[in-house]
Structure 1
Amino acid sequence: MEKRERVSGVWIFYLLLLCTSMLWAGNFVAGKFLVGHASPMVLTDMRWVAAIVCLLPIVWWKDKKLLPPKKAIWPLFLMGLTGVVLFNLFMFLALERTSADNVGLLSALNPVAIAIVSFFLLRERMTRRQVFGMIVSLFGVIVVISHGDPVRLLRLHLNVGDLYMLCAVAVWGLYSVTGRWAMKSVSPYMSTLWSGIFGVLTLLPFTVTSMKITEPSPSFWLATIYVSVGATVLAMLFWNIGVQRVGGTKSGVFLNFNPIFTALLSFWLLGEAMTGVQLSGTILVICGVYLFTAIPRRKKMNVVTNM
């Protein structure tokens, strides 16, 4: 009975990862507005400072302490360096030098990067079905981003911006792996808090002299609250919980939902229409994620019969 509950309970963590993708998609929409008021690095520092303030009471409530053990310091610092600093830096450098189509397409390689890094550093292996599910899901993302037009993909030429985005993809794979390393000795709550602290401390010397906000409005502060609480605190907590419970490789596949939710939110908030091609790509992504994450029937039967 206990093992049967364990099988059904894993879907809770898949739901958290799905919520993470939705929250990060909302971050892209809100970020479009915020970037007109401050530099990307200033915005990154602002959102994480606000996130840290929110996380402090949560960590105290859940863990009854705020300081991590000494053995967790190094992996937590690496989480902050990769997930908070380098990923954002490379992504913004990419957006300055290449098209959004290129960045969106290359970001679909995040799950592949996580799987590759997890394979080499954690020895996480993938079944043939998982590989097939990853390919199907990735193909769905390509359909959405290219709007079903193969010519758009043929016109994508690698430039310096594309290389920066490839660096961002590789860094996210490292962040996911260092997250699993850190969460062997700390909770997802504490790992999120301290990766943010180390990330802010690393960024601060580069942003302290350029802390400038242009024409802040109530809408600006509302968007800032969203990206700080929703897209940072909740999303990073959900993500780290998912990585801890189901592994970095399976968690990474849910990143393929990011462009899907972005399209849905753009339709709802910005009035951009969703085409039949985008809907078809969405279905492919969902099928790929299911193939990757679902437990085979034979294995599920073994779990039930071996109660």
Structure 2
Amino acid sequence: MQQHQKTPWWALALPLLAVLIWSLNIVVTRYVSDFISPVSISFYRWLIAFVLLTPFMLHRVWQARQQIRQHIAQLAVLGAFGMVLYQGIAYTASHYTSATNMGIINAFIPVFTIFVSMLLLRDTPNRFALIGSVLSFLGLLYVIGQGNFAALLAMGHHFGDALMVVAVFFYAFYGVFLKKWRLNLPLMVSVYIQIAFALLFHLPFIIYLGLDALNSQNALSVLYAGIFPSLCAPILWMLAVQHLGPNRTSIFMNLMPVFTAIIALIWLHEQWTIYHTLGGIMILCGIALAQKKNAPSHLRSV
């Protein structure tokens, strides 16, 4: 009994710090959108992460070269979905919507994951998942419509929110692909190769759209994106999963909309309104309900 209560305080701080870093990155993304193009910040972000990881990863990549060859196509798809499509579309969305809305829509990832799992894994959701998904989706529409469902008809006004929904949808695919394929690779090796593919996939966009130069207005934001959300937060999250388990750790992700809204309020002076509160509560309640399982066998598959 005593062992169950022996969770050290620093283990709980790990996922909190990771979510705080990711939340701050959403606000940084919104802030820097006026100073650098989406493709430029996305490319620089992964370039910085790649350069920082390379001295530590080259030997490990060489050792794992046989396994990498076996999974090369899957690693390419993961890099495309998780690091190019999700992140690139999110950077584009930041030009048209608020950081607060981006944080709230980002919380919708678990619900989208349920439906992508249905499509790819034939994983039939239970009644809690279905009810929770519907509730979360209504909450999402309520936020996008700014408290007025009829306003959703004017979709041009919600272009950034719609883009963010698409980005989240791609990230849901990324998570399900990881679960479906269960690559026989060390995690950091997998991440490193995905980053390498992400850089390659950026090249056609850079050739067509050009690459913005780094300057005093965007350099710190790019550096933050390349170090903290790309490297530090995932490592903190992985350590948290080791100490707390995946189920307990995933609950902390629900704090992202709250952290994002607070940071955006202080830094960008964005307003938190009643429709953010009501829609956010609906989304989080729906996500919590969607996590409820009927049987232990489902718990083992999460």
TM-score, structure 2 normalization: 0.70
2:45 to 44, 47, 64: 47
2:30 to 29, 32, 38: 32
Q: Which amino acid aligns with 1:287?
A: C
Q: Secondary structure at the match of 1:100?
A: coil
Q: Secondary structure at the match of 2:272?
A: coil
Q: Secondary structure at the match of 2:71?
A: helix
Deviations 1:24-59 (A, max 9, x none): 332232123323333211211100011123344665
Partner of 1:224: 222
Partner of 1:204: 203
Partner of 1:280: 278
Q: Which amino acid aligns with 1:128?
A: R
Shift, 1:93, TM fit: 5.9
Percent identity at matched positions? 26
Partner of 1:193: 192
Shift, 1:123, TM fit: 2.6
Q: Which amino acid aligns with 2:97?
A: A
- Correspondence 1:55-70 to 2 at 5 A: 55-56=53-54, 67=65, 68-70=67-69
Tell me, yes or no, if the aligned pair for 1:144 and 1:277 is still in contact at 8 Å: yes
Deviations 1:127-174 (A, max 9, x none): 111222233333333444444333433433699988866654543332
- Correspondence 1:217-296 to 2 at 5 A: 217=216, 220-236=218-234, 259-294=257-292
Q: Secondary structure at the match of 2:218?
A: helix
User: Aligned partners of 2:176, 2:229: CA distance in 1, in Å?
Assistant: 21
Tell me, yes or no, if the aligned pair for 2:110 and 2:287 is still in contact at 8 Å: no
User: Aligned partners of 2:113, 2:225: CA distance in 1, in Å?
Assistant: 24
TM-score, structure 1 normalization: 0.69
User: Aligned partners of 2:40, 2:203: CA distance in 1, in Å?
Assistant: 9
User: Aligned partners of 2:147, 2:126: CA distance in 1, in Å?
Assistant: 29
Moved more, 118-127 or 202-211: 202-211
User: Aligned partners of 1:146, 1:260: CA distance in 2, in Å?
Assistant: 19
Tell me, yes or no, if the aligned pair for 2:129 and 2:289 is still in contact at 8 Å: yes
Q: Which amino acid aligns with 1:40?
A: P
Shift, 1:228, TM fit: 1.4
Deviations 1:50-71 (A, max 9, x none): 1123344665899995645322
User: Compared with structure 1, are the counterparts of its residues 93 and 279 closer, same or farther at alpha carbon in structure 2 (3 Å cutoff)?
Assistant: closer
Structure 2 runs not aligned, ≥5 long:
none
Tell me, yes or no, if the aligned pair for 2:22 and 2:256 is still in contact at 8 Å: yes
User: Aligned partners of 2:225, 2:70: CA distance in 1, in Å?
Assistant: 31
Equivalenced residue count is 284
User: Aligned partners of 2:121, 2:238: CA distance in 1, in Å?
Assistant: 16
Tell me, yes or no, if the aligned pair for 1:144 and 1:282 is still in contact at 8 Å: yes
Structure 1 runs not aligned, ≥5 long:
none
Tell me, yes or no, if the aligned pair for 2:112 and 2:169 is still in contact at 8 Å: yes
Tell me, yes or no, if the aligned pair for 2:42 and 2:88 is still in contact at 8 Å: no
Moved more, 108-117 or 266-275: 108-117
User: Compared with structure 1, are the counterparts of its residues 290 and 94 closer, same or farther at alpha carbon in structure 2 (3 Å cutoff)?
Assistant: closer
Partner of 1:120: 119
User: Aligned partners of 1:75, 1:242: CA distance in 2, in Å?
Assistant: 26
Q: Which amino acid aligns with 2:219?
A: W
Shift, 1:236, TM fit: 4.8
CA RMSD of aligned residues (A): 4.5
User: Aligned partners of 1:170, 1:55: CA distance in 2, in Å?
Assistant: 28
Partner of 1:100: 97
User: Aligned partners of 1:70, 1:299: CA distance in 2, in Å?
Assistant: 36
Q: Secondary structure at the match of 2:35?
A: coil
User: Compared with structure 1, are the counterparts of its residues 107 and 29 closer, same or farther at alpha carbon in structure 2 (3 Å cutoff)?
Assistant: closer
